[in-house]
A and B are shown apart, each in its own frame.
Chain A
Amino acid sequence: MTRVRELLVRATNPTATVFVLLVLVFAGVFAMNPGFFEGPSLMAFLKQAAPLVILAAGQYFVIVSGNFDLSVGALVGAQVVIAARLIDGEESRTVPVLIVMALFGIAVGLVNGLITTALKVQSFITTLGMLLVLYGAIRLWTGGAPTGSLSEAFRTPGRLGIENVPVLGQIPWALLIMIAVGAGSVLLMRTRFGRILMAAGDNERAAALSGARVGTARTIAFILSGLSATVAGVLIGGFAGVSAQVGDGLEFTVITAVVLGGVVLGGGRGSVLAAMAGALVIEALFTLFNQMALPSTLRPAVQGAIIIAAVAYAARRRTRPVPTTATATPTPS
C-alpha cells in the first residue's frame, strides 16, 4: 500500500508528470491507430520529432541557468538558408559548410551569452533582439527568398538511416543523433559544469559567492543552445528542404516543451531528460491531432489549453508554501 502511494507521489512530481503525459498521449494515439507502434511508423515519428527534442535539450541548458533563448527559431531558419546558399548543390562543399554552420551557431550563442552576462541585458531582450537581427539579416542576404540547394550528403542525416533492420525497418540517423545528444546532455549535467549551471539558476548569488563562474557557465549554455539549433537546422533542412520560414515560431514551441518537462522558467529545477520528453509530448500531440483529423485551425487552441492545464497541474505542488519541498534538490536523471 505504501509502495503504491510512493509511486503515486513520484508520478505526480513535476518532472514525472511529463512521462505520465507522454504515456497518456501515446495511449490516445494507439487507441486511434494501433498500427502506430509498428516499427516503421514509430521510426518515422521519431525522425520527425528529433529536431524539436534536440532543440529542447539546448534550450534546457539556457532555461535551467535562469535565462531564455528566443533566438533559436530564427537561428534554425538562418542555418538552413546559409547551408543552401553556401552548398549550392555541390557535394564537395558539404563538410566545410557544416563546419561554417557550427561556427556560426557557436558565434550566435557566444554573442547572446556575452551580452546577457557581461552587459547584464535581460536574456529575453538579448535573444529577442538576436531574433530580429537574424530574421532581418538572413532575408537581407538572400533578397527575400532563399537561394541555392542542399547536397545529398547534407540531407542524409535528416532523411535516411540504417536500412533493413529487422522489425524496425529503418533506424533514422536523426534518432541516433537525438539519442547521442540526450546521452551527452545527461552526462554534461552530471559534471561540474552541470552543477554550476543548476546552481546559477537556483541561486545566482550563492553560486557566485561559492566561487562558481556563473557568467561563464551561462555563456556556455547559450553556446550549447546555438549548437543545438545548428544540429536541428541540419536535420530539418534535410528532412523538409529549404525554406526561410522553417524556424518561425519554433522558439515558443521549444520553450513550451521544456516547461512541459517540468523545468521551471527562472532556472534551478528540472532534468534534461524530462525536457526532451516534453518535446516528444508535443510532437506526439501533433500526431494525435493528425490521427483525430482535427481541423488544422483548431489545433493551436487545443495545444494552448493542454499546455496551460499541464503546467498548472505540475505547478500545483510548488504553489503551496511548504519549505521542505521548495528547497528539495532537483531529481537527477
Chain B
Amino acid sequence: MTRRPGADRLGTTALIYLALAGVLAAGAVATAIDGGNLFATANLVDMLTRTSLTGFLAIGMTLVILCRSLDLSVGYTAALSSLVAATTMDGQVANIPLAVAAVLLVSGLVGAFNGAVTAYLGVNPFITTLGTGLIIKGYLDTQYKGPAGDVPALFQQFGYTRIGPVPVSALVMLALAAAAVWFLRSTRTGHHMYAVGGDVEVARMSGIRTGRTLMWAHVLCGMTAGVAGLLLAARFGTGSAEAYTNLYELDAIAAVVLGGTLLLGGKGGVAGTVAGVAILAVLDTVFNVMQIDPFAKDVLRGVVIITAVAIYARRQLDRTARRPRFAEGRAS
C-alpha cells in the first residue's frame, strides 16, 4: 500500500525534473537570443535566491495538500512571523534564539488552529484558512501601521550570505525539503498523510487518527510559513506587515501543483515541489534578464502554470479515470 504510491511518484517526479531541465534550456536559449547569459553568476544567484522564500512555503503547503487540505493563510502567517521575529530580536543578538522559538510557536499555533477547525469542526479548509488569513490581516493592520522591530546584523546574514553562488537561505530550504522527503517516506505520520489524502474514510477505518494527521500537516505548514517569515525579517532587516500583499500563498500552491502533487490529495511529494519552485524561479529570472514587462510576466506565468498542469493531467488521465475515490461523494 505504501510502496505503490512511492513507485508511481518516482515516475512523475522524474518528469517534473525533465520539465525543469526543459524550462532551463528554453530560458537559456531565449536569453542567449536576447544577448544575455542565463548562467552568469548574478543570474544564478537571483534564481537561487528566489527559490528559498517560495520554497519554504511550498514545502509546508505540500504536506497539507497531500492531506487534501489547503492553506491560504501562509502569506499572512509569514508576515506575522516576520513581525514577531523583528520585534522580539529588537536589535539584540542575544534574543535571536528566543525570537526563532517565538516565531515557531506562534506560526505553529496558527497552523494548529487551522488544523483543529478543519479537522474537528468540519469546516472546508478553503474557508478556514481564508478566515484565519483575514483575522491575521485584521490584527496586523490594526497593530502595525508600518515596519516594526529591528533585526540584528548577525541574523540578517541568513538573508544575504552566500556560499559561492548559493545563498544560505536556499541551502536551508533544501535541507528542510530533504527532511520533509524523509518525513513523508519514512515516518508513520508521513505515510498517514498519503492515506488521509487518498481517502479519509478508508484511512479512518484502517485505524488512522485522521484528525491528528491533518493537525500535524497544518502545524508543520504553519511552521514552514514561520521560517519564511524569519527569512523575510532577515532580508528586510525589520518586520513588515505589508509582506502579505504579495499573495505568496498562490505562488506556493502553484509551485506545489507544478511539482506534480494532486490538489485532491494523496499523491505527490516534496521532491516534485522543489522542482516546481525552481521552475517558477527560473521563469522569473528569465523574465527579469529579458526585461519583460511585469504585467506580461503575469500573463506568461498564468499560461505556463495552466499548460504544465494540463500536460501532467494528460498523463494521469487513464489512472484517474479508474480511481473510485474521485467518484465518491466528498467528505468535506
Question: Which residues of the partner chain B approach A115 to less than 8 Å between Cβ atoms?
Answer: 306, 310
B296, B309, B328 interface centre (most CB from chain A within 10 Å)? B309
B332 at the interface (CB under 8 A from A): yes
Question: Which residues of the partner chain B approach A316 to less than 8 Å between Cβ atoms?
Answer: 121-122
Question: Which residues of the partner chain B approach A21 to less than 8 Å between Cβ atoms?
Answer: none
Distance in angstroms from A281 CB to nearest chain B CB is 14
Beta-carbon contact of B320 and A140 below 8 Å? no
Question: Which residues of the partner chain A approach B293 to less than 8 Å between Cβ atoms?
Answer: 140
B314, B329, B332 interface centre (most CB from chain A within 10 Å)? B329
Beta-carbon contact of B329 and A202 below 8 Å? yes
B299 at the interface (CB under 8 A from A): yes
Per the bound structure, the CA–CA distance linking A318 and B328 in Å amounts to: 16
Distance in angstroms from A90 CB to nearest chain B CB is 27
Per the bound structure, the CA–CA distance linking A204 and B329 in Å amounts to: 9
Beta-carbon contact of A125 and B299 below 8 Å? no
Residues in A251-289 with C-beta less than 8 Å from chain B? 252, 255-256, 259, 264-268
Question: Which residues of the partner chain A approach B329 to less than 8 Å between Cβ atoms?
Answer: 202-203, 268, 326
A179 at the interface (CB under 8 A from B): no
Per the bound structure, the CA–CA distance linking A254 and B83 in Å amounts to: 30
Distance in angstroms from B144 CB to nearest chain A CB is 10
Question: Which residues of the partner chain A approach B327 to less than 8 Å between Cβ atoms?
Answer: 203-206
Per the bound structure, the CA–CA distance linking A312 and B328 in Å amounts to: 23
Residues in B307-332 with C-beta less than 8 Å from chain A? 309-310, 313-314, 316-317, 320, 324, 326-330, 332
Distance in angstroms from B271 CB to nearest chain A CB is 20
What is the chain A residue whose CB lies nearest that of B201?
A: A321
Beta-carbon contact of A297 and B306 below 8 Å? no
Question: Which residues of the partner chain B approach A256 to less than 8 Å between Cβ atoms?
Answer: 127, 130
Interface size of A by CB at 8 A reads: 53
Given contacts A121-B310, A326-B329, contact A308 B117 (CB under 8 A): yes
Residues in B115-170 with C-beta less than 8 Å from chain A? 117, 121-124, 126-128, 130-139, 141-142
Per the bound structure, the CA–CA distance linking A255 and B72 in Å amounts to: 13
Per the bound structure, the CA–CA distance linking A132 and B136 in Å amounts to: 25
What is the chain A residue whose CB lies nearest that of B128?
A: A308
A295 at the interface (CB under 8 A from B): yes
Given contacts A120-B317, A137-B299, contact A301 B138 (CB under 8 A): yes
A266, A268, A326 interface centre (most CB from chain B within 10 Å)? A266
Per the bound structure, the CA–CA distance linking A267 and B124 in Å amounts to: 12
Beta-carbon contact of A136 and B297 below 8 Å? yes
Question: Which residues of the partner chain A approach B332 to less than 8 Å between Cβ atoms?
Answer: 265-266
List the one stretch of B29-37, B214-222, B250-258 in contact with chain A.
B250-258
Question: Which residues of the partner chain A approach B132 to less than 8 Å between Cβ atoms?
Answer: 304, 308
Distance in angstroms from B277 CB to nearest chain A CB is 16
**Chain A interface mostly helix, strand, loop or mixed?**
helix
Given contacts A125-B309, A256-B127, A301-B142, contact A136 B121 (CB under 8 A): no
Beta-carbon contact of B254 and A305 below 8 Å? no
Question: Which residues of the partner chain B approach A264 to less than 8 Å between Cβ atoms?
Answer: 124, 330
Beta-carbon contact of B122 and A301 below 8 Å? no
B303 at the interface (CB under 8 A from A): yes
Beta-carbon contact of A136 and B295 below 8 Å? yes
Per the bound structure, the CA–CA distance linking A122 and B293 in Å amounts to: 28
Beta-carbon contact of A298 and B142 below 8 Å? yes
Residues in B79-93 with C-beta less than 8 Å from chain A? none
Beta-carbon contact of A135 and B138 below 8 Å? no
Beta-carbon contact of A305 and B135 below 8 Å? yes
Question: Which residues of the partner chain B approach A305 to less than 8 Å between Cβ atoms?
Answer: 131, 135
Beta-carbon contact of B306 and A307 below 8 Å? no
Per the bound structure, the CA–CA distance linking A175 and B126 in Å amounts to: 30
A10 at the interface (CB under 8 A from B): no
User: Which among B117, B263, B302, B313 is the interface contact of A129 at CB below 8 angstroms?
Assistant: B302
What is the chain A residue whose CB lies nearest that of B310?
A: A119
Beta-carbon contact of B128 and A124 below 8 Å? no
Per the bound structure, the CA–CA distance linking A203 and B313 in Å amounts to: 20
What is the chain B residue whose CB lies nearest that of A312?
A: B121
What is the chain B residue whose CB lies nearest that of A267?
A: B330
Beta-carbon contact of A125 and B263 below 8 Å? yes
Beta-carbon contact of B313 and A120 below 8 Å? yes
Residues of A near any B CB (own CB < 8 A): 115, 119-122, 124-126, 128-133, 135-137, 139-140, 144, 202-206, 252, 255-256, 259, 264-268, 295, 297-305, 307-308, 311-312, 315-316, 318-319, 326
11 A–B contact pairs at CB < 8 A?
A: A120-B320, A125-B254, A125-B263, A132-B302, A135-B295, A136-B298, A205-B327, A297-B141, A297-B142, A311-B131, A319-B121
**A-B contact sample (20 more), CB < 8 A, given A128-B302, A308-B117:** A119-B313, A119-B314, A120-B316, A124-B263, A125-B254, A133-B303, A136-B294, A202-B329, A259-B124, A259-B126, A264-B330, A298-B138, A299-B138, A300-B135, A301-B138, A303-B131, A303-B138, A304-B131, A304-B137, A307-B134
